[in-house]
């Protein structure tokens, strides 16, 4: 652990567990292709320059040749739980062999030939302990699950689920890491035992990258896979479309229009109707709700009127529509 943050296991440490698992499967009499698959995966892990543990947490280890989804899941088990989950049959073989190791020694204290290095090491590395062994000590939490970043107007909403294990000690906090480039996250803030956070200290037009880690009394667990989002840009609505005007019955002028092609990223909350008796000189007549028609009855029969309409939202008034004209009835 470095400064309270649990270090991920080294590639060689992860590879060692897969070599040992292959040895144990061989003892069990498993198919040779399964044993060979784990040995090849272990070799690939040792040859990989980046952290195989972090690649698995990010869901990218399976992209490496020889490491598929199943092996990637086992790597995550090692990181999150400190062990590989065994099938009941394999665990039975390991338990029996470990019992044999504990009870069988030669005159010089050497283990008998059947107690191979695989059984000894698997008995230690994959949580096979004598029944009298003390319970494991508390550890850091595992990785927060289902982390998501959702862009909203002027901020980014983060959400996640609790880790699969709290390490044996209650989770007290979460640490949120943020960066403006992928992989460049640094600590943004520490929050309580919650599963959401709104980041309002963002700039429209920029993308932000996040990781989340859980904290308990032991320290900080591994960071989650990276997520990203960019805050939404809000502008005023576009102009209403296809404004038309015609004499209305029994009197006045009736208008209709279509909603703007774009609301600018914010919900339209109403329309303003402009009118004049000369083209291009319209002034505000009235404000209406979220409708697409209006009848102007404050008219004089036989007079020509000119109209324009605009939409507005929380971002402000949008552009005026095309001009429409009609003679009032």
Instruction: Give the pLDDT confidence of 105-149 residue by residue, as tens digits.
Output: 443 444 333 334 444 444 444 443 333 445 568 899 999 999 999
pLDDT in tens, 147-179: 999 998 889 999 999 999 999 899 999 999 999
Of 320, 300, 302, the C-alpha closest to 310 is 320
Global pTM exceeds 0.85: no
Mean pLDDT to the nearest integer, 288-300: 97
Which tokens hold the place of 14? 């992860």
Please, are residues 167 and 141 in contact by the beta-carbon 8 Å criterion?
A: yes
> What is the Cα–Cα distance from 79 to 257, expressed in whole angstroms?
60
Reduce the DSSP state of residue 95 to 3 states and report it. Answer: helix
CA angle 49, 118, 61 (to 5 degrees): 25
Length in residues, the chain: 329
> Is-same-fold flag (145-229; 241-327)?
yes
Q: Cβ–Cβ contacts within 10 Å for residue 1, how many?
A: 11
- As its CATH architecture, domain 11-125 has Orthogonal Bundle (1.10)
Q: Cβ–Cβ contacts within 10 Å for residue 265, how many?
A: 16
CA angle 320, 321, 324 (to 5 degrees): 125
DSSP structure string for 126-151: TT---TTSPPPPP------EEEEEEE
Which tokens hold the place of 138? 């508390």
CATH number listed for the domain at residues 145-229:
2.60.40.10
Tell which wins on pLDDT, 277 or 22: 277
Q: Does domain 241-327 have CATH number 3.40.30.10?
A: no
Reduce the DSSP state of residue 290 to 3 states and report it. Answer: coil
What φ, ψ does residue 32 adopt, rounded to 5°?
-65, -30
Domain residues of the chain, as ranges?
A: 11-125, 145-229, 241-327
Reduce the DSSP state of residue 44 to 3 states and report it. Answer: helix
Query: Residue 2: what pLDDT?
Result: 42
């Amino acid at each position: 652990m470095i400064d309270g943050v649990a270090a991920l296991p080294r590639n060689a440490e992860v590879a060692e567990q897969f070599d040992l698992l292959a040895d144990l499967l061989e003892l069990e009499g498993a198919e040779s292709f399964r044993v060979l698959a784990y040995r090849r995966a272990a070799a690939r892990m040792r040859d990989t320059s980046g952290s195989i543990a972090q690649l698995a947490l990010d869901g990218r280890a399976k992209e490496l040749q020889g490491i598929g989804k199943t092996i990637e899941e086992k790597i995550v088990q090692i990181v999150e739980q400190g062990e590989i989950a065994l099938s009941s049959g394999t665990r039975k073989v390991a338990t029996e062999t470990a019992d044999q190791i504990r009870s069988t020694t030669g005159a010089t204290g050497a283990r008998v030939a059947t107690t191979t290095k695989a059984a000894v090491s698997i008995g230690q590395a994959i949580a096979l302990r004598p029944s009298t062994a003390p319970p494991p000590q508390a550890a850091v939490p595992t990785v927060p699950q289902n982390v998501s970043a959702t862009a909203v107007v002027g901020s980014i909403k983060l959400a996640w689920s609790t880790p699969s294990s709290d390490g044996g000690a209650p989770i007290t906090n979460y640490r949120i890491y943020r960066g403006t480039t992928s992989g460049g996250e640094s600590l943004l803030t520490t929050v309580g035992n919650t599963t959401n956070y709104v980041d309002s200290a963002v700039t429209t037009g920029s993308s932000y990258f996040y990781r989340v880690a859980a904290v308990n009394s032991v320290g900080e667990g591994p960071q989650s896979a990276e997520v990203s989002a960019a805050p939404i840009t809000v502008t005023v609505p576009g102009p209403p479309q296809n404004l038309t005007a015609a004499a209305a019955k029994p009197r006045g002028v009736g208008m209709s229009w279509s909603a703007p092609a774009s609301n600018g990223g914010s919900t339209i909350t109403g329309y303003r109707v402009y009118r004049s008796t000369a083209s291009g000189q319209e002034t505000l007549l009235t404000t209406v709700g979220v409708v697409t028609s209006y009848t102007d009855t404050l008219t004089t029969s036989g007079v020509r009127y000119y109209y324009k309409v605009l939409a507005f939202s929380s971002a402000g008034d949008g552009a005026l529509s095309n001009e429409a004209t009609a003679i009032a009835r």
